[in-house]
């Protein structure tokens, strides 16, 4: 009896830890990568923690600066580059180590070595270097962020209003083929968005919505309306009809009842639904590529930037930029998500 309990507990803990690792390790890995400098990315073995400072040694030989960097694995300074041009050094330090210095600073620091003694310096790495680079190589990132927010907003609005109405109808009214309709909602989800977006492009061009965020949101909503209807259906079913009927008896009409009783009770669920809609719009880059290439969303911008530069740390920085608003959004609505499966009915 007791051993059985112990085994279940252990298994449960193991499961929990595995889940945590599976979620946290990749997250931590790309967060760390986004903070790496170029040299760290190609270093082997990789360090888990990004470095914050570099210890450097500069000597003056053969009329050239000899730059060595302390490497932990060999526990000694390793010669990296020799040149007499401060500008080259500056660029090298920036590109390889994310250390941002001006030419003057370099000359000031390095010229002390000219009398034959080695100069030891500790330089701070610019941790946000990758993020800055990301915004400089992608010219219109702020516009793209706005676009993403607008597209996500419209998607939430469209799929929630239409989807929850459908969900309410399916939950409350006796309609024929209820089960089949419910199932077909999921089938809509099965179509890949890419397949939907190509014919949609034709319609959007006809309507003049091609390249607009509203047009994009319409396409995102196609699949999301179905999902929202599916989820809200069970939410509304979970709200006892008697709660609504009580409102009717106590002097409210149907519309008042919906807004004062049904909607507040369904609210946590609807908020959670809005997260699905948000994520669908926020994370998509393929549909945006087809429908709105010239006016990209953040996700599309990152997708393209990664394709162009090929630097893994830039890709990671882009991913962090993309995921941060999602995390903020989730954080804002976290109370509702936890409530979602709590007791609406009793």
Partner 1 sequence: MEYLKLTNLTKIYLKKIIAVNNMDLSIHKGEFLVLLGPSGCGKTTTMRLIAGLEAATEGDILLEGKSITGLAPKDRDVSMIFQSYAVWPHMTVYQNIAYALKLKRMSKKDIDIRVKETAKMADITEYLDRNPTNLSGGQRQRVAVARAMAVKPKLFLMDEPLSNLDAKLRVAMRTDLKKAHELLGSTTIFVTHDQSEAMSLADRIVVMNMGVIEQIGTPNEIYHDCETMFVANFIGAPPTNFFDVEIAVSNDNVMVKHGMFEFAVAKEIEASLRKYAGKIVVLGVRPENFDILPVGKGLLDSKIEFIEPQGSHTVVVIDIMGKHHKIISTGTFELKVGQEIGIDINQNNFFFDKESGKRIR
Binding flag, residue 104, partner 1 (CB under 8 A): no
Least Å from the CB of residue 180 to partner 1: 20
Nearest to 299 by CA among 277, 315, 276, 275: 315
Least Å from the CB of residue 252 to partner 1: 6
Nearer to partner 1, 17 or 246 (CB): 246
Query: Under DSSP, is residue 252 helix (H, G, I), strand (E, B) or coil?
Result: coil
**Interaction with partner 1 in 139-168: which residues (CB under 8 A)?**
none
Binding flag, residue 252, partner 1 (CB under 8 A): yes
Instruction: Kindly state the tokens that stand for 22.
Output: 């599976």
Least Å from the CB of residue 166 to partner 1: 23
Return d(Cα 77, Cα 73) in angstroms, integer.
10
Nearer to partner 1, 235 or 320 (CB): 235
Nearer to partner 1, 192 or 264 (CB): 264
Nearest to 314 by CA among 98, 142, 146: 98
Distances (CA, A) of 22 to 14, 47, 68, 69, 171: 12, 19, 38, 35, 37
The dihedrals phi and psi of 318, each to the nearest 5 degrees, come to: -60, -45
Query: Are 56 and 70 in contact, with CB atoms under 8 Å apart?
Result: yes
From candidates 7, 186, 248, 332, binder to partner 1 by CB under 8 A: 248
Binding flag, residue 346, partner 1 (CB under 8 A): yes
From candidates 161, 240, 293, 324, binder to partner 1 by CB under 8 A: 240
Please give the torsion angle defined by the CA atoms of residues 97, 98, 103 and 104, in that order, rounded to the nearest 10 degrees.
Answer: -100
Binding flag, residue 251, partner 1 (CB under 8 A): yes
- Length of the chain, in residues: 346
Binding flag, residue 246, partner 1 (CB under 8 A): yes
Nearer to partner 1, 200 or 266 (CB): 266
Return d(Cα 337, Cα 153) in angstroms, integer.
19
From candidates 44, 52, 173, 250, binder to partner 1 by CB under 8 A: 250
**Interaction with partner 1 in 265-284: which residues (CB under 8 A)?**
265
From candidates 48, 187, 249, 328, binder to partner 1 by CB under 8 A: 249
Binding flag, residue 341, partner 1 (CB under 8 A): no
Number of residues that bind partner 1 (CB under 8 A): 20
User: DSSP label at 262?
Assistant: I
Least Å from the CB of residue 245 to partner 1: 5
From candidates 41, 243, 312, 337, binder to partner 1 by CB under 8 A: 243
Region from 39-47, 159-167, 238-246, 330-338 binding partner 1, contact rule CB under 8 A: 238-246
Nearest to 201 by CA among 119, 131, 286, 130: 286
Buried b (16+ CB within 10 A) or exposed e, 187-206: ebeeeebeebbeebbeebee
The sign of the dihedral angle between the CA atoms of 305, 294, 144, 160 is negative
Return d(Cα 200, Cα 207) in angstroms, integer.
10
Binding flag, residue 343, partner 1 (CB under 8 A): yes
Least Å from the CB of residue 343 to partner 1: 7
Question: Hey, how many other C-beta atoms are within 10 angstroms of the C-beta on 141?
Answer: 19
CA 168 to chain centre: 31
Question: Hey, how many other C-beta atoms are within 10 angstroms of the C-beta on 58?
Answer: 21
Least Å from the CB of residue 184 to partner 1: 25
Binding flag, residue 175, partner 1 (CB under 8 A): no
Binding flag, residue 256, partner 1 (CB under 8 A): yes
Nearer to partner 1, 137 or 248 (CB): 248
Interface residues with partner 1 (CB under 8 A)? 240, 242-243, 245-253, 256, 260-261, 264-265, 343-344, 346
């Amino acid at each position: 009896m007791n051993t059985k309990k112990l085994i279940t507990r252990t298994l449960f803990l193991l499961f929990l830890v595995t889940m945590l690792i599976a979620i946290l390790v990749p997250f931590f890995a790309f967060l760390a990568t986004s903070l790496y400098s170029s040299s760290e990315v190609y270093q082997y073995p990789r360090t888990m923690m990004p470095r914050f400072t570099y210890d450097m040694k500069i000597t003056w030989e053969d009329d050239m600066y000899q730059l060595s960097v302390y490497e932990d694995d060999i526990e000694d300074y390793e010669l990296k580059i020799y040149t007499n041009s401060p500008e080259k050094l500056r660029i090298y330090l920036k590109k390889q180590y994310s250390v941002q210095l001006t030419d003057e600073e370099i000359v000031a620091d390095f010229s002390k070595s000219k009398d034959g003694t080695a100069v030891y310096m500790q330089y701070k790495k610019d941790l946000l270097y990758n993020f800055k680079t990301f915004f400089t190589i992608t010219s219109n990132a702020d516009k793209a962020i706005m676009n993403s927010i607008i597209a996500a907003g419209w998607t939430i609005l469209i799929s929630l209003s239409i989807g929850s109405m459908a969900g309410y109808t399916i939950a409350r009214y006796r309609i024929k083929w209820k089960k089949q309709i419910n199932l077909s909602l999921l089938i809509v989800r099965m179509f890949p968005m890419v397949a939907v977006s190509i014919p949609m492009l034709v319609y959007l061009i006809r309507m003049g919505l091609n390249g607009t965020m509203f047009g994009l949101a319409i396409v995102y909503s196609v699949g999301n309306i179905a999902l929202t209807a599916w989820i809200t259906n069970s939410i509304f079913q979970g709200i006892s009809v008697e709660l609504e009927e009580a409102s009717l008896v106590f002097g409210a009409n149907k519309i008042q009842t919906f807004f004062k009783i049904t909607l507040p009770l369904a609210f946590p669920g609807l908020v959670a639904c809005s997260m699905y809609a948000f994520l669908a719009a926020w994370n998509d880059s393929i549909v945006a590529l087809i429908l709105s290439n010239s006016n990209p969303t953040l996700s599309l911008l990152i997708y393209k930037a990664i394709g162009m530069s090929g630097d893994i740390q830039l890709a990671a920085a882009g991913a962090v930029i993309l995921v941060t608003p999602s995390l903020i959004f989730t954080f804002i609505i976290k109370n509702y998500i936890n409530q979602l499966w709590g007791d609406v009915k009793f």
